[in-house]
Amino acid sequence: MGAPSICERASRSRVRPRIPSPRSRSGSSRDGSSWCRSPQGATREPGAKHRLSAELRPQAVVIFGASGDLTKRKLLPAFWNLFLQGLLPKGFAITGYARTQMTDDEFREQARESVKLYCRMPPDDDAWTEFAGRLSYLPGEFANEGAMKRLERHLASVDEKFGTEGGRFFYAATPTTAYPDIVRRLAEAGLHRDAKIVFEKPFGHDLASARELNAAIHEVFDESQIFRIDHYLGKETVQNILAFRFANGLFEPVWNRKYLDHVELTVVEDIGIEGRGAFYEQTGAIRDLVVTHLFQVMTFLAMEPPVSFEPNRLRDETVKVLRSAQLCDPTQVVRGQYRGYREEPGVAPDSTVETFAGLKLEIDNWRWADVPFFLRTGKRLAAKCSEITLKFLKVPFNVFRGTDLDLPMRDHLTIRIQPNEGITLAVNAKKPGPGLELERVTMDFDYEEEFGGQIADAYELLLLEAMEGDHTLFLREDGVDRAWEILQPVLDNPAPVVEYEPGSWGPAEADALIAPHRWHATPAHAH
């Protein structure tokens, strides 16, 4: 039997939280193990006195778009978890800023509901009182100069009350169209000096808009102040790609064209657009996931060993991958749309936006020449799964010829990003008994079984990294630019969308794209 795909395995229960501790970090000069692994962090015992960290510089956090879905589902729960772990600075407070009219108390209640719904650690009365006391809210327009002046005065009072000492940490949880107004008004209010600012993906709408956006931001902020976030790079299993490759002598020697036939990257969901019709009509699967998650994971898979794990040395190598990558044939990119998408709220009845994308890339360098990379992403598919599969070449000579024995499937290595995080190596072995019969067997590493507990959410790690000023897991301007450049031919001349059934594995054209192979993350595995 074939190794069970991530999509065929039941989700398992999680227990204790785990998050990297600042004490395990080595600043900007890293040896890889200090952040590629999953060290146990301090956990707060019931009834224990909560303490904040003295290791981080005091900072006042401002979340632009604080009434939005990202803030509710990810940012506030992440800050709460960091707070409970004692990883936030002693001088710390959060100010929510958005157009929605809301009082401080209403914002605190929104935060409490978010923690109840989306957090692995529910609000504890004593700790929550302390955390909620550090939350405040200001309503205002992003382009309004007077509103930003009010924010300036508000932050001055935050400095005095919570000891944030002028440290500023801005998070733009807004549409990218709001970014230029935000940075311009921050500069006019003098709030940009010595500040850090995080921008959400997708960074731009195409190559031209990404360049315009970078130019507008650089009029105010230096690159060292900018953190372009892709939360996939905060996932333990994605970071572990680097440890798996560069901390083991077994795999890196075969991580190349001499031993690999092709590479597959799958990031698919069983849900639809979940009421985000207006947003999705402006993005689609290519802009939402291919230019971000899939490309960034691909760079970790394909990069050369960096000189060190200093942020720019690592990012130099990921950008080299993108510079070497190109679509094998832009006209063969598969664009699909699930049946019923056009009936979703906020979606045009004649929409041609893709909810599925499949593409084939090649990386033109000595390591990867002639090894195709197949990428796919989509919504309303048969299961939710994110995984990477490296398919090895078949043995060059069949010593079993002249017998009734057929070689089973080719060997493959699968990295499960989510759920059931882990790594599986599938190989052929002799089945016990008389005669010679081969069967597929697997060697499996499971994060939960090995380390125990719950893996921290990616946003927790990335928020902590950004607050520390560490750019290792954030995108650089030239990498963003090149990612859009690769896909611009598809955006300029998009292929027609083909309909697929909800609950299927997408359009048949995606299967034809990878032929004569089959996608690994399906019930029928590749041969």
Report the distance separating Cα 132 and Cα 123, nearest Å.
10
Q: What does the block give as tokens for 499? A: 């309909």
Q: What does the block give as tokens for 91? A: 């001088």
Residues 6+ apart with CB under 8 A from 80: 111, 115, 119, 121, 123, 131
Nearest to 77 by CA among 494, 424, 527, 458: 458
Active site residue: 192, 262, 293, 517, which one? 293
What secondary structure letter does DSSP report for 8?
Answer: G
Cα-Cα-Cα-Cα dihedral of 471, 475, 477, 480, to 10°? 180
Exposure on the CB side of residue 492, measured as CA atoms within 13 A:
9
Q: Is the dihedral of CA 503, 507, 508, 512 positive or negative?
A: negative
CA 208 to chain centre: 24
Judge whether 293 counts as a catalytic residue. Answer: yes
Q: Tell me what percent of the chain is helix, strand and coil, each rounded to the nearest 5.
A: 35, 20, 40
Report the distance separating Cα 204 and Cα 212, nearest Å.
8
Report the distance separating Cα 491 and Cα 357, nearest Å.
12
CA 73 to chain centre: 15
Q: What does the block give as tokens for 43? A: 């956990």
Exposure on the CB side of residue 332, measured as CA atoms within 13 A:
15
Q: Which amino acid is at 283?
A: T
Report the distance separating Cα 226 and Cα 229, nearest Å.
9
Q: Which residues are catalytic?
A: 293
